[in-house]
């Protein structure tokens, strides 16, 4: 999907692309609201049950609740469509919000089967399913865009059709591997684990949506498209490390629960590698952002590269938060994480109010960055003093961060010709990759 962005932006244009990306963000937050975050509880509670039968019943209980609850929320969103449509004043409820609600309701069926595969380390099956989903969704989207010459509404309709086509597979998978005999005790323990995170879900809504809403209200729909493209390209960092985080999550809890010294040391090494590679990816994406926009997108999107350079570090901080929050989950202190996330969300709203009217889309990017920086600092110091905690090698991380930021500032200020700039940045990247290889080689060997 990342490499198909030039096609989508070419056929949709700045305004229509802004609509699609805003609806994508709305869908991602809606997915969390539909499930109350209860999907995430299986990664922790799965290991509390010893027999295969009770584990299947846990999945069945959660699956039944999620389907019923998401159906109720969908109905309420349609009843209150005037209120729902107010989220983006320039995007009408019908057809845009309507398509997204239906699509999210259907795709939500896939979350538990995927969680089941992750926990049971079925990497091949998970990969095959993901590839099939991608090919189906992308193929239908391209058909609507290129063949039928559709606008943003056509693209969203195509996503709905693709989700309808693949949904029978996930229903069959659930019937085969889950035991749909709802157990109130299991449901209660899952909700006790997830409900304290509800304000966190609201915070996620604010942190991921409020900047788009403010841009839509204070600037223009075209600015929303430019901002959305920059955010989307930077999100390759989030996509890559969300995938890594999904595989690391069950491993983290497995190692943390073992209480064995060698397992705790392994967490420390994995955290170090995780953050170092994350920072490296952030640097590479930011370093080549300008050249990437020039090569693949029209001049209307040129300013997106500045958004990429800021938002890339947003995803670094976001993934850092995710890593630290595992300490709170391990100690079952989800409520404390809720307070931190709520504070960050309120701070984000304040930053948006002040920065966006004065600095436009760059203000939106900085508002999100500052909010996540606040989250990282508070999460870190609370975890350090009150929860299960493994060191993150912060001194080393700060040194790398400082060097990378200096390089990014200097290469942008130099304003070299396109060819010289590309060559210089390739040389810098190769040197850093070689350094990373020799510097972290021993840590890789010990970890894996």
Give residue 272's pLDDT.
83
Q: Tell me, yes or no, whether 271 and 399 share the same domain.
A: yes
SS3 letters across 301-365: HCCHHHHHHHHHHHHHHHHHHHHHHHHHHHCCCHHHHHHHHHHHHHHHHHHHHHHHHHHHHHHHH
Given 125, 156, 182, the domain boundary residue is 182
- As a whole number of angstroms, the distance between CA 333 and CA 345 comes to 19
Asked if residue 164 and residue 238 are part of one domain, the reply reads: no
Q: Are residues 84 and 5 in the same domain?
A: yes
Say yes or no: 271 and 166 in one domain.
no
Name the domain boundary from 122, 150, 182.
182
Q: Are residues 10 and 57 in the same domain?
A: yes
Q: What is the pLDDT of residue 83?
A: 83
Is 189 within the bounds of a domain?
A: no
Q: What are phi and psi of 390, to 5 degrees?
A: -125, 135
Residue 188 counted as domain residue: no
Do 337 and 447 belong together in one domain? Answer: yes
Residues 160 and 288 in one domain: no
Residue 424's domain comprises 197-448
**Angle at CA 360, nearest 5°, toward 229 and 355?**
120
Burial (CB count <10 Å: 0-12, 13-18, 19+), residue 406: exposed
Nearest CA-CA partner of 316 in 399, 402, 238, 248:
238
Clarify whether residues 259 and 403 are in a common domain. yes
**Helices (H), ranges, 48-181:** 52-79, 81-84, 98-107, 111-119, 123-142, 152-177
Residue 190 belongs to a domain: no
Q: Are 350 and 374 in contact (CB under 8 A)?
A: no
pLDDT confidence of residue 202: 67
Among 142, 162, 160, CA closest to 11:
142
**pLDDT at position 422:** 92
User: Does residue 192 fall inside a structural domain?
Assistant: no
Predicted pLDDT of residue 447: 61
Q: Do residue 165 and residue 206 come from a single domain? A: no
Give the number of domains in the chain: 2
Pair 319, 421 in one domain: yes
Residue 343, in any domain of the structure: yes
Tens of pLDDT, residues 282-307: 999 999 999 999 988 888 888 899 99
From first to last of its 448 residues, the chain has per-residue pLDDT tens of 667 788 888 888 888 888 887 888 788 778 878 877 776 677 667 767 778 788 788 788 888 888 888 899 899 989 988 888 777 777 888 888 899 999 988 888 888 888 888 877 788 888 888 888 888 888 888 888 888 888 888 888 888 998 899 888 888 888 888 888 777 877 777 777 777 666 766 676 666 667 777 787 777 767 888 888 888 888 888 778 777 777 777 777 777 777 777 777 777 788 888 888 889 999 999 999 999 999 888 888 888 999 999 999 998 998 888 888 777 766 666 677 777 878 888 888 889 888 988 888 899 899 999 999 998 898 888 887 877 767 777 888 899 999 999 999 999 888 888 899 999 999 999 999 999 888 887 766 666 5
Q: How many angstroms separate the CA atoms of 284 and 312, rounded?
A: 10
Is residue 398 domain-resident? yes
CA 152 to chain centre: 22
Please give the mean pLDDT across all residues of the chain.
82
Q: Give the pLDDT confidence of 355-377 residue by residue, as tens digits.
A: 988 888 899 899 999 999 998 89
Same-domain status, 268 and 294: yes
Helix (H, G, I), strand (E, B) or coil at 180: coil
Residue recorded with tokens 């538990």? 112
Looking at the structure, tell me whether residues 425 and 396 fall in a common domain.
Answer: yes
* Domain-located, residue 191: no
In this prediction, residue 1 carries a pLDDT of 65
Alpha carbon distance 147, 161 (integer Å): 16
The pair of structure tokens assigned to 146 is 């290129």
Where does a domain end: 182, 213, 242? 182
What dihedral angle (degrees, nearest 10) is formed by the CA atoms of 374, 380, 382, 385? Answer: -150
For the beta carbon of residue 246, count every other beta carbon within 10 angstroms. 14
Instruction: List the structure tokens of 172.
Output: 């069959």
Q: What is the pLDDT of residue 310?
A: 93
């Amino acid at each position: 999907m990342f490499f198909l962005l030039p096609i989508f932006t070419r056929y949709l244009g700045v305004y229509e692309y802004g609509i699609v990306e805003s609806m994508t963000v709305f869908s991602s937050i809606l997915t969390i609201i539909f499930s109350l975050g209860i999907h995430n509880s299986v990664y922790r509670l799965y290991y509390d049950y010893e027999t295969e039968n009770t584990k299947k019943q846990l999945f069945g209980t959660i699956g039944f609740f999620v389907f019923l609850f998401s159906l109720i929320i969908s109905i309420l969103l349609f009843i209150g469509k005037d209120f729902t449509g107010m989220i983006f004043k320039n995007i009408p409820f019908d057809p845009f919000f309507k398509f997204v609600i239906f699509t999210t309701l259907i795709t939500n069926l896939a979350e538990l089967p995927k969680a089941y595969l992750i926990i049971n380390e079925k990497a091949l099956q998970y990969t095959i399913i993901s590839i099939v989903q991608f090919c189906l969704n992308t193929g239908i989207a391209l058909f609507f865009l290129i063949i039928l010459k559709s606008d943003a509404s056509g693209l969203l309709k195509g996503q709905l059709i693709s989700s309808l086509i693949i949904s029978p597979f996930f229903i069959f998978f659930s019937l085969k591997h889950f035991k749909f005999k709802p157990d109130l005790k299991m449901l209660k323990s899952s909700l006790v684990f997830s409900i304290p995170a509800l304000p966190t879900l609201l915070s996620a809504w604010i942190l991921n949506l409020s900047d788009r809403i403010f841009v839509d209200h204070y600037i223009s729909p075209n600015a929303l498209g430019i901002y959305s493209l920059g955010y989307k390209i930077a999100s390759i960092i989030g996509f890559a490390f969300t995938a890594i985080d999904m595989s690391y999550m069950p491993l983290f809890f497995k190692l943390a629960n073992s209480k064995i010294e060698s397992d705790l040391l392994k967490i420390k090494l994995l955290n170090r590698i995780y953050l170092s590679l994350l920072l490296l990816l952030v640097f590479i994406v930011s370093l080549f952002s300008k050249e990437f926009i020039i090569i693949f997108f029209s001049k209307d999107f040129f300013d997106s590269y500045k958004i990429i350079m800021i938002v890339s570090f947003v995803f670094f901080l976001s993934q850092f938060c995710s890593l630290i929050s595992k300490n709170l989950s391990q100690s079952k202190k989800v409520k404390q994480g809720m307070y931190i996330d709520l504070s960050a969300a309120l701070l984000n709203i304040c930053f948006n109010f002040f920065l966006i009217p004065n600095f436009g889309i760059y203000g939106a990017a900085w508002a999100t960055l500052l909010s996540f920086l606040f989250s990282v600092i508070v999460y870190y110091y609370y975890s350090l003093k009150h929860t299960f905690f493994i060191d993150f090698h912060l001194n080393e991380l700060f040194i790398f961060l400082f060097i990378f930021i200096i390089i990014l500032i200097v290469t942008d200020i130099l304003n070299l010709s396109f060819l010289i700039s590309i060559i210089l940045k390739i040389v810098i990247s190769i040197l850093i990759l070689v350094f990373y290889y020799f510097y972290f080689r021993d840590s890789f060997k010990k970890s894996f």
